């Protein structure tokens, strides 16, 4: 159940810092509206670590990726401004906690290279996380 909690904590934080914004969450029906900016949120889990012996403690490591999709041919300012605002909302040193799961943001989020994808100009934001599960 730890991945469900990790996803929930990160998605709630996204909605908190990003406000109301059309979002494609994983495996949830979503159809973008032509000409209207939207974002896609994905949890990219990595390898589970076991920092201690003889306990239920495990450490989940991964990246929460939020990709901004803005209409092409309008410049990069709006997409980059939103990515920067979200970056600030997932600042290094932050933590999110529920029950036996504590998600920590030990590294600064980073903006990846933009790409043109069909009708969209896409800018990915990667938020590295470490989640201790007890």
- Other Cβ atoms within 10 Å of 52 Cβ, number: 10
DSSP 8-class letter at 21 = -
Residue 64 lies in a domain: yes
Residue 77 lies in a domain: yes
Domains identified in the chain, total number: 1
Residue 133 lies in a domain: no
Render pLDDT for 75-116 as a digit per residue (tens, 0 to 9): 999 999 999 999 999 999 999 999 999 999 999 999 999 999
Q: CA-to-CA distance for 14 and 127, rounded, in angstroms?
A: 11
Domain that includes residue 77, residue range = 2-27+35-124
Residue 111 lies in a domain: yes
pLDDT attached to residue 104 = 98
Is the CB of residue 40 less than 8 Å from the CB of residue 18?
no
106: region left, alpha or beta (phi > 0 left; psi from -120 to 50 alpha): alpha
pTM: 0.94
What mean pLDDT comes out for the span 3-17? 97
Residue 105 lies in a domain: yes
pLDDT attached to residue 55 = 78
Residue 131 lies in a domain: no
CATH code of the domain in which 112 resides: 3.30.2000.20
Residue 134 lies in a domain: no
Render pLDDT for 20-45 as a digit per residue (tens, 0 to 9): 999 999 999 999 999 999 999 999 99
Residue 132 lies in a domain: no
> Is the pLDDT confidence value at 54 over 80?
no
């Amino acid at each position: 159940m730890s991945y469900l909690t990790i996803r929930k904590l990160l998605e709630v934080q996204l909605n908190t810092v990003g406000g109301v914004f059309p979002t494609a969450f994983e495996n949830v029906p979503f159809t973008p509206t032509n000409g209207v900016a939207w974002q896609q949120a994905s949890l990219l889990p990595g390898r589970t670590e076991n920092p201690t012996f003889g306990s239920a403690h495990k450490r989940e490591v991964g990246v929460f990726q939020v990709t901004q999709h803005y209409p092409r041919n309008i410049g990069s300012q709006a997409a980059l401004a939103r990515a920067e605002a979200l970056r600030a909302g997932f600042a290094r040193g932050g933590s999110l906690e529920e029950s036996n799961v504590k998600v920590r943001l030990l590294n600064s989020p980073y903006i990846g290279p933009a790409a043109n994808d069909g009708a969209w100009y896409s800018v990915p934001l990667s938020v590295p996380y470490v989640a201790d599960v007890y």
